[in-house]
Chains A and B, each alone.
Chain A
Amino acid sequence: MAHRKKNRNVGVIGVGQTKHSSHREDVTQPEMVHEAVREALEDAGLTMKDVDCIVHGNMELFEMIHQPDLWHELGTGAYGKNAFRLTTGGTTGATLFCAGDNLVASGMYDVALVIGFEKLQEGHTTGGITNMADPLWFRSLQTGALTGTCAYDVIQEFGEERATRAAMMYRIIMDQNACLNPKAHRAFGLEWDQMDHLIKTSAKLIGELKIIDMCSQSDGACAVIMACEEKAKALSDKPVWVRDHITVHREETINILGYDQATKEKMTHRFAAEQLFKRNGITNPVEYFDVFEMYDPSSWWGVDWMREFFLLEGDEHLKLVEEKEIAIEGKIPVNPSGGVIASNPIGATALVRPAEACLQVRGDAGAHQIPRPVNHALASGFGGTLWTVLILLEKELGW
């Protein structure tokens, strides 16, 4: 399909995150954002003087602040700079990343500081998410972001035992990764021998979605600095190149359930992957990628969506889980950071995905670093009514 040549390349040269947590009563929002900004600037070896554009976002109805970037100027360093604000719900962080890429690639800006944050403890998370529904109808029916429909679909297809075990295996792998990530919010230290017990006893929230499966609610911020090729090469030893990205939204409703296989819609995840891989000449994603930081709001979705993102069929994705190929030492590590189930400061979460992927490409992820060269990385964002943002990152130019 037609795709224009990128005007100029963009590299990520700095990454910063707060330690995601459930209680950041020790900081105000601008202070929390500032922690991530400082870390990113230090990581890049820059000061605010070197930045010419700030891109900021979150899901404002959680904290009920109107245009928070105005207040956050105290912590973002936006004073005197060009500043943009984009918000697209759960995908916000990834959208901000794409926006940073667009703004720098366009030639309008050379160095962009991209910031996503959320202080969920300051608001009412479920209330905030429920307010996403149409006020005249679905708002009275929706239960925040919870739905058991995905679990139902996977169970229908593969049978309860296999499906539940795969979801729990996925969960434990994610937790083991989180235990190696000092920035992760929740790291329980789950052991393999707890699997049966957890499956039996973890409290059900809705349908087959259990509390252990569900992502956390966190306070946190993430900042990423991106620069045009010339500056990226001058300022960094190991810029991580943004090769391409795609955003795919869906209509307002969530009637994508699988109970009518003949009319079941293609998931945006698969559509995004198909478009992105085709226009970049990637024919075997599982082979091509060295890491996938996927936005996994629950272990069920994590398992299910791998089939969509990797363009697999049948039970290939279950096998990746069952054979632990998605673990850090596996063939295609997924969420070495612990993923969204471990840390979910919503406005930042989708930015943490490419940020963590960049750390992996650079070899800077510390204890949760993948022990092999990471040259090609994939990161995804999720939100809204099953929207997807998919980002392609490379260690070397010249793809």
Chain B
Amino acid sequence: MSEKFGVKVEDIFNTMQERFRPEGAAGVDASFGYDIPGRGKWRLTVKDGTMKIEQADDLSGCVAVTRADPDTFVGVNIGKVDGTAAFTSGKISVEGDVGAVSTTFKLFKRFTPPKKELTVGEYILDMFGTLEARFQPQAAEGLDITIGYDIGGREGGRWTAKIKDGKCTVKEGLALSPNLTMIVKAKDWVDLMLGKVDAMTLLSTGRAKVEGDMNLAVKLGELFAKYKAPGEEAEEEQELLVLKKVISVGQRFATGPVMGKYLNGLKEKKILANKCPECGRTQVPPREICAVCRVRCEEWVEVGPKGNVRLVDTAYYASPDPLTGETRETPYGLCYILLDGCKGQEVFAHFIRDDQLDRIEMGWNEKKGTIVRPVWAEKRTGRVSDIKYFEIDE
């Protein structure tokens, strides 16, 4: 049963092995499930740079199961349906690790539906059947000629094209004295029209002969538009070139005395904030000025290290680093912590220990959230990562 695009769901899965790109499988070690209602379920297992695809009723153990209706599934795989739009509007859904599914995109070359192949005889009939339609009058100004086609072999035939007053009529049979006659076997003619062989090769090997006005032979390419096999029209759009480049300009960011002091404090396991002389609010990390009061902040105070979690932003989708392509493992929690010594909205942002994410309770007004403490890196160099993450203070 073919779907809307003339391609079967099974075709997609059956060609996965031949479309597989082992280089895209580096570091991938998981099973991915596909549930296409009405067609079946498949399990894709990727490990050690190899893959296995099999129909399976049981998709347990798959890191993610992708569900889509047959038309959408095929459409996305052949590039006719926008995957992101389908996913956003719910036409494709994923149960499990959504991020993991994106690793499957690099695993396969795009599925291209196989070209329909006609027999030589069918091609010949189609080529000459479309000759009149492919005539380009703008190249025939002032011409009054006949061109004979003597196509040999069982599948061949004879045709004459008469061009006069900017019009072209094609009839079966060879005219008596055409200005130009092409003599070639059917198979060679088909290969020539499909671009599988060039005219020079045919002529120099004697497989094709041209009689009559040689200048006209040269003009043939202009007189008729290129032959397109049935179904090939869609691919005849201009090839759009895309230039891919990663741009990177090295930077040397200054830390300045304010941020610099803070970063140095981290090396000594101290979290330093500065304080506004007018409104008293603390800023951590510190900034040169209090934006509200517009005055320079020069008073320092050590805060934390413990605090209570006011909010956790749990990220299920991690965007890949543009330079390295790496993604943080999801889910992870970016949390806003009110460190001891800070008040109100003076929160500090950092990560929560991954395995404790679901145990964090968020604060609200006077109610304190989970008390957390920083876990320091062994080697500290004055960076964000000097604090590895925050963990529950227990």
Chain A interface residues toward B at CB < 8 A:
22, 25-26, 64, 124, 126-127, 130, 134-138, 140-141, 143-144, 146-149, 152, 156, 186, 188-190, 194, 197-198, 201-207, 211-212, 214, 250-252, 255-257, 259-265
B290 to chain A, nearest CB (A): 9
Q: Is B98 an interface residue, CB under 8 A from the partner?
A: yes
**Can you give 25 A-B contacts (C-beta < 8 A)?**
A127-B321, A134-B285, A136-B285, A140-B383, A141-B349, A141-B351, A152-B362, A190-B89, A198-B90, A201-B93, A203-B94, A203-B98, A204-B317, A205-B316, A206-B313, A206-B315, A207-B314, A211-B87, A211-B88, A251-B292, A255-B345, A257-B311, A259-B362, A262-B344, A263-B345
- Within B134-152, the residues touching A (CB, 8 Å) are none
Most B CB atoms within 10 A — which of A25, A135, A202, A255?
A255
Residue of B nearest to A126 (CB): B319
The answer to whether B317 and A205 touch across the interface, beta carbons within 8 angstroms, is yes
The answer to whether A212 and B255 touch across the interface, beta carbons within 8 angstroms, is no
B345 — which chain A residues lie within 8 A by C-beta? 255-257, 260, 263-265
The answer to whether A204 and B247 touch across the interface, beta carbons within 8 angstroms, is no
Question: Assuming the A-B contacts A203-B98, A259-B364, are A127 and B319 also in contact, with contact meaning beta carbons closer than 8 angstroms in the complex?
Answer: yes
The answer to whether B240 and A25 touch across the interface, beta carbons within 8 angstroms, is yes
B230 to chain A, nearest CB (A): 26
Most B CB atoms within 10 A — which of A26, A135, A188?
A188
Q: Is B291 an interface residue, CB under 8 A from the partner?
A: yes
Complex CA gap A205/B98 in Å reads 9
B322 — which chain A residues lie within 8 A by C-beta? 124, 126-127
Complex CA gap A150/B64 in Å reads 28
B321 — which chain A residues lie within 8 A by C-beta? 127
Contact with A along B308-343 (1 / 0, CB 8 A): 001101111111011000000000001010000001
B291 — which chain A residues lie within 8 A by C-beta? 250-252
The answer to whether B334 and A257 touch across the interface, beta carbons within 8 angstroms, is no
B234 to chain A, nearest CB (A): 16
Complex CA gap A117/B363 in Å reads 41
A252 — which chain B residues lie within 8 A by C-beta? 287, 291
The answer to whether B314 and A255 touch across the interface, beta carbons within 8 angstroms, is no
The answer to whether B310 and A257 touch across the interface, beta carbons within 8 angstroms, is yes
Chain B interface residues toward A at CB < 8 A:
82, 84-85, 87-90, 93-94, 98, 240, 242, 247, 251, 253, 255, 259, 263, 285, 287, 291-292, 310-311, 313-319, 321-322, 334, 336, 343-347, 349-351, 362-365, 383-385
Top 9 nearest A-B pairs (CB, nearest first) are: A263-B344, A127-B322, A251-B291, A188-B89, A126-B319, A124-B322, A25-B240, A140-B384, A259-B310
B343 — which chain A residues lie within 8 A by C-beta? 263
Complex CA gap A61/B253 in Å reads 17
The answer to whether B344 and A201 touch across the interface, beta carbons within 8 angstroms, is no
A294 to chain B, nearest CB (A): 21
Among B316, B344, B362, point to the contact of A203 (Cβ < 8 A): B316
A211 — which chain B residues lie within 8 A by C-beta? 87-88, 317
* Overall SS of chain B's interface: loop
Among B84, B253, B317, B385, point to the contact of A140 (Cβ < 8 A): B385
Known: A135-B253, A264-B345. 14 other contacts (CB 8 A): A26-B240, A126-B322, A136-B384, A140-B385, A141-B350, A143-B315, A144-B319, A201-B93, A211-B88, A212-B90, A255-B336, A259-B362, A262-B344, A262-B365
The answer to whether B251 and A146 touch across the interface, beta carbons within 8 angstroms, is no
The answer to whether B336 and A257 touch across the interface, beta carbons within 8 angstroms, is yes
Residue of B nearest to A143 (CB): B315
B287 — which chain A residues lie within 8 A by C-beta? 252
Complex CA gap A207/B335 in Å reads 11
Residue of A nearest to B289 (CB): A251
B311 — which chain A residues lie within 8 A by C-beta? 149, 152, 257, 259
The answer to whether B88 and A146 touch across the interface, beta carbons within 8 angstroms, is no
The answer to whether A260 and B365 touch across the interface, beta carbons within 8 angstroms, is yes
Among B319, B362, B365, point to the contact of A261 (Cβ < 8 A): B365
Residue of A nearest to B241 (CB): A25
The answer to whether B90 and A201 touch across the interface, beta carbons within 8 angstroms, is yes
The answer to whether B251 and A135 touch across the interface, beta carbons within 8 angstroms, is yes
Complex CA gap A127/B291 in Å reads 27
Complex CA gap A339/B362 in Å reads 33
